[in-house]
């Protein structure tokens, strides 16, 4: 791209990689404090019931038990992660709404006593009728899960762009198809955990939590405890995977804080694997009907969508999830006329929430599958159909998205070439096939101006740099990327950067890790703060060198005149001179950054630019099907990803590979099986996610577009890649055996059934 950098763009290891490899990195469960108590949560055995009475007397008398709490003991406060969607209590009060709902909690001197105490709590329930499918839950007469929510529909969105009816009339072909995406669990290696302490002198609760959003957690904790936010400090230790599942506040956070304040002792809660499956969050199952009008050459004229998302018992991120599934139907392809109708429906099942892609993978499966169906029906190559409808940078957008950079058409061509499209599509032996699918994803959201990230950068007299950032690194390498950005601005190696992040008592405000906005939000904030430090130092050095500050360059611990590296000084000399000139030390820069937006804007009532920038990607798959057993082997997956400029290409590749395998799991293996509200496979032994043994050959192609909004041109990298592996794989299955699958996952049983049906 013409510009060379010394730190940005380098394949550098994560700054905490050695500690993680050696096992010295501290996760929440590693925290051990003197006198620490251990908590456990009693969960509902019924999917829907009224709580008549809870008797905790026997548990309270058990030696070693230090506290018991029920929903009636705590403030009557509902909370939620999304405004206008608050519907949860920290512990159930009058009703339980799914198997696993939080009923009561205990704390004791060790986990075994706490577990024993749970068995001594007696709960009298009045069992109520339950409903487990969203299409049944919306029917007249279905059991109401939440009072005042007719048809169990907690949130609906209806958007219309252009004139769909007219466009359908003008289309040469109109096709309608139905699709279903299943429930998928995030399955992070680290279960959810929290450790709370109480400082009686300050009246402050300190909570260590495996969370993705420390500042939002502080808000919800303060609200449900009915104390000021200033009396809550949330610290994020290392997090062993989140993928959206650790966005919400859970009972473990509230109860740890409650008991710490009540007992004066530190309290730890750690969920077991079954609790992670049944009592946290999962990807929403979704029924989608798609109607698309096209011209003979494949030009998309209009689309109409109807979606019903199975939300489980509570809202979690329902409004945002439904909005994303709507708006990202209009990208990466031109859809000039669109009607979207989406409904989030309560059922008596585990709760749906944010998961990589956040509502878009389900919609993309439907779109990308139908595009292949349409291509087959009208006799157009699937790649050509996609290229014809590809969005390009600078084009006007029906929803007023501002697309400053876009490498989507390049990603299509490169992915198709890398998978051998021309040589293989429709030409391989029966049982082998190739397919592809495209997608786009936002770099965070810009629909709320308070979604901002702050940073403080300090340079000391020895040249070492301290960075304070509220960004939450959950394993994706956010702290490393932020440090690389600061190092590049200040002209120092990564080794000179020390970063402190995600501590609401020390670091600036940050919305946390969601929507793939960390690099753009927190990276821009850190860049601006570092530029303020550099500006102060450059002003001093320019006077000494009799140069213009704009002509100076900082690189390799040197400051010199651009084009004249001999005309300069070392960073240490510059700092020493700065200090001896009685200028304030350390040199401090502060900044906050948020995407341009208007407030309030929700996109539910009005259109606007959804994100500061958008990444684009194509995944291409090659599969092999055993025609005797039905077993599917993903041989190769190519991902071509436009992420602007990669701040750290090695971390980008790691993100792409992880998302490819996650999408592979969605396509072929993963499914939270629920029968009458009971999760039947809540363990790593029974839940079918891919392992290293199933990993395909993965090819990663970086497409650099140097976005003008992102720091050093960066955009989202990784989460968007989760959107299209599933349809790419299922499209490849059609090429392999000539059968279209409209539901996920596609298992060997489905393959054999389809082959038998084809024979018959």
Q: Does the structure show a pLDDT above 90 at 604?
A: no
- pLDDT class of 450 with cuts at 50, 70, 90: low
pLDDT-derived band at 760 (thresholds 50, 70, 90) equals confident
Residues 6+ apart with CB under 8 A from 663: 361, 619, 721, 722, 723, 724, 725, 726, 728, 729
Judge whether residue 601 has pLDDT over 70: no
What band does 17 get if pLDDT is binned at 50, 70 and 90?
very high
Average pLDDT over residues 144-167: 97
Query: What are the pLDDT digits (tens) for 267-277?
Result: 999 999 999 99
Radius of gyration of the CA atoms of the chain, in A = 27
Q: What is the mean pLDDT of residues 424-443?
A: 97
* pLDDT value of position 84: 82
Q: How confident is the model at residue 719 (pLDDT cuts 50, 70, 90)?
A: very high
What is the predicted pLDDT for the residue at 448? Answer: 56
* Domains of the chain: residue spans and CATH: 31-128+189-241+246-279 (3.90.1170.50), 286-446+602-759 (3.30.365.10), 452-593 (3.30.365.10)
Q: Residue 444: which of 610, 653, 323 has the closest Cα?
A: 610
Average pLDDT value for the chain: 96
Q: What pLDDT score does 269 carry?
A: 98
Tell me the C-alpha distance between 1 and 9, whole Å.
12
Q: Is the pLDDT of residue 455 over 70?
A: yes
Is the Cβ–Cβ distance between 380 and 307 less than 8 Å? no
What would the mean pLDDT of 306-329 be, rounded to a whole number? 95
Q: What is the pLDDT of residue 452?
A: 86
Contact 91, 70 (CB under 8 A): yes
Q: Where are the beta strands (DSSP E) in 536-663?
A: 552-555, 558-561, 564-570, 587-593, 614-625, 632-644
pLDDT tens for 239-275 read 999 999 999 999 999 999 999 999 999 999 999 999 9
Answer yes or no: is pLDDT of 496 > 50: yes
* Res 447: pLDDT: 62
Q: Residue 600 pLDDT > 50, yes or no? A: no
* Largest separation between any pair of C-alpha atoms in the chain: 90
**pLDDT at site 111:** 98
Q: Which residue has the tokens 């062993």?
A: 240
What percent of the chain shows pLDDT beyond 90? 93
Phi and psi, residue 529, nearest 5°: -65, -40
**Which runs of consecutive H residues, i.e. helices, occur in 390-453?**
408-419, 421-424
Burial class of residue 612, CB neighbours in 10 A (0-12, 13-18, 19+): buried
Position 105 confidence tier, pLDDT thresholds 50, 70, 90: very high
What pLDDT is attached to residue 1? 46
| Residue (of 446, 437, 450, 490) closest to 467 by Cα position | 490
**pLDDT tens by residue, 59-85:** 999 999 999 999 999 999 999 998 889
The mean pLDDT value for 118-143 works out to 98
pLDDT given for residue 610 in this prediction: 86
Q: Is the peptide bond before 332 cis (omega within 30 degrees of 0)?
A: yes
Angle at 731 between CA 289 and CA 735, to 5 degrees: 135
Question: Distance between CA 78 and CA 89 in Å, rounded?
Answer: 5
Residues whose CB is less than 8 angstroms from the CB of residue 3 and which lie 6 or more positions away in sequence, other chains included:
none
* Cα–Cα distance, 300 to 171 (Å, whole number): 8
Please state, in angstroms and rounded to a whole number, the distance separating the CA atoms of residues 61 and 53.
18
Report pLDDT digits (tens) over 207-237: 999 999 999 999 999 999 999 999 999 999 9
| pLDDT value at 2 more than 70 | no
Number of neighbours of residue 58 by Cβ within 10 angstroms: 14
Give the model's pLDDT for residue 597. Answer: 65
Question: Residue 595: what pLDDT?
Answer: 83
Give mean pLDDT, residues 634-659: 96
**Span 362-372, mean pLDDT?**
98
What DSSP state is assigned to residue 4?
-
83 CB contacts (<8 Å, ≥6 apart)? none
């Amino acid at each position: 791209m013409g510009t060379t950098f010394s730190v940005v763009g380098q394949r550098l290891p994560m700054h905490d990689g050695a500690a993680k490899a050696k096992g010295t990195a501290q996760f929440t469960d590693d925290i051990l404090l003197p006198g620490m108590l251990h908590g456990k949560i009693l969960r509902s055995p019924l999917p829907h019931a009224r709580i008549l009475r809870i008797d905790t007397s026997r548990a309270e008398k058990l030696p070693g038990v230090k506290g018991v709490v029920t929903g009636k003991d705590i403030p009557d406060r509902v909370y939620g992660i999304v405004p206008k969607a608050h519907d949860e209590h920290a512990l159930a009060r009058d009703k339980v709404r799914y198997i696993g709902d939080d009923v009561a909690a205990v704390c004791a001197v060790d986990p075994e006593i706490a577990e024993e105490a749970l068995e001594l709590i007696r709960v009298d329930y009045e069992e109520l009728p339950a409903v487990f499918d969203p299409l049944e839950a919306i029917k007249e007469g279905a059991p109401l899960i939440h009072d005042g929510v007719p048809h169990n529909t907690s949130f609906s969105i209806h958007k219309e762009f252009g004139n769909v009816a007219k466009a359908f009339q003008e289309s040469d072909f109109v096709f309608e198809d139905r699709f279903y995406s299943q429930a998928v669990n995030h399955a992070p290696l680290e279960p959810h955990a929290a450790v709370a302490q109480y400082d009686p002198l300050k009246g402050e609760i300190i909570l260590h939590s495996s969370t993705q959003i420390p500042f939002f957690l502080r808000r919800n904790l303060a609200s449900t405890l009915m104390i000021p936010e200033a009396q809550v400090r949330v610290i994020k230790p290392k997090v062993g995977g989140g993928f959206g599942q650790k966005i919400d506040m859970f009972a473990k956070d509230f109860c740890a804080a409650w008991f710490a304040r009540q007992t004066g002792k530190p309290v730890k809660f750690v969920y077991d694997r079954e609790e992670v499956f049944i009592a946290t969050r999962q990807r929403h199952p979704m029924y989608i009907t798609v109607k698309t009008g096209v011209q003979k050459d494949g030009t998309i004229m209009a689309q109409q969508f109807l979606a019903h998302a199975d939300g489980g018992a509570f809202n979690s991120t329902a409004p945002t999830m439904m909005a994303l599934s709507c708006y990202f139907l209009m990208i990466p392809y031109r859809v000039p006329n669109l009607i979207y109708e989406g409904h989030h429906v309560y059922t008596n099942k585990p709760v749906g929430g944010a998961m990589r892609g956040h509502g878009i993978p389900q919609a993309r499966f439907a779109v990308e599958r139908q595009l292949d169906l349409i291509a087959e029906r009208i006799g157009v190559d699937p790649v050509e159909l996609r290229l014809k409808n590809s969005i390009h940078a600078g084009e006007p957008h029906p929803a007023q998205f501002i697309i400053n950079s876009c490498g989507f058409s390049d990603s299509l061509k490169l992915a198709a070439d890398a998978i051998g499209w021309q040589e293989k599509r429709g030409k391989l032996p029966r049982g082998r096939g190739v397919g592809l699918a495209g997608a786009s994803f936002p770099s965070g959201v810009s629909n709320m101006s308070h979604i901002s990230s702050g940073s403080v950068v300090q340079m000391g007299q020895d040249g070492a740099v301290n960075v304070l950032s509220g960004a939450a690194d959950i394993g994706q390498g956010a702290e490393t990327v932020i440090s690389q950005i600061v190092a590049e601005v200040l002209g120092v190696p990564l080794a000179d950067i020390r970063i402190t992040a995600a501590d609401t008592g020390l670091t600036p405000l940050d919305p946390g890790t969601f929507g793939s906005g960390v690099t753009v939000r927190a990276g821009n904030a850190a860049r601006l703060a570092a530029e303020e430090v550099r500006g102060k130092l450059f002003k001093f050095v320019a006077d000494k060198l009799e140069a213009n500050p704009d002509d100076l360059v900082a690189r390799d611990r040197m400051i010199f005149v651009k084009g004249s590296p001999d005309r300069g000084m070392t960073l240490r000399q510059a700092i020493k001179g700065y200090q001896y000139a009685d200028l304030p030390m350390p040199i401090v820069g502060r900044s906050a950054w948020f995407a341009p937006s208007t407030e309030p804007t929700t996109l539910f009532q009005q259109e606007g630019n959804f994100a500061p920038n958008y990444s684009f990607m194509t995944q291409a798959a090659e599969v092999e099907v055993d025609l005797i057993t039905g077993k599917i082997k993903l041989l190769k997956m190519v991902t071509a990803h436009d992420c602007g400029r990669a701040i750290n290409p090695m971390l980008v590749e790691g993100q792409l590979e992880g998302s490819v395998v996650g999408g592979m799991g969605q396509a072929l293996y993963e499914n939270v099986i629920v029968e009458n509200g009971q999760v039947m496979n809540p363990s790593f032994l029974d839940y079918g996610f891919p392992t290293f043994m199933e990993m395909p050959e993965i090819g990663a192609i970086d497409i650099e577009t140097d976005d003008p909004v992102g720091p050093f041109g960066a955009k989202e990298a990784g989460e968007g890649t989760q959107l299209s592996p599933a349809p790419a794989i299922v499209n490849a299955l059609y090429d392999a055996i000539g059968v279209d699958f409209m539901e996920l996952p596609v298992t060997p049983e489905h393959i054999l059934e389809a082959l038998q049906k084809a024979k018959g």
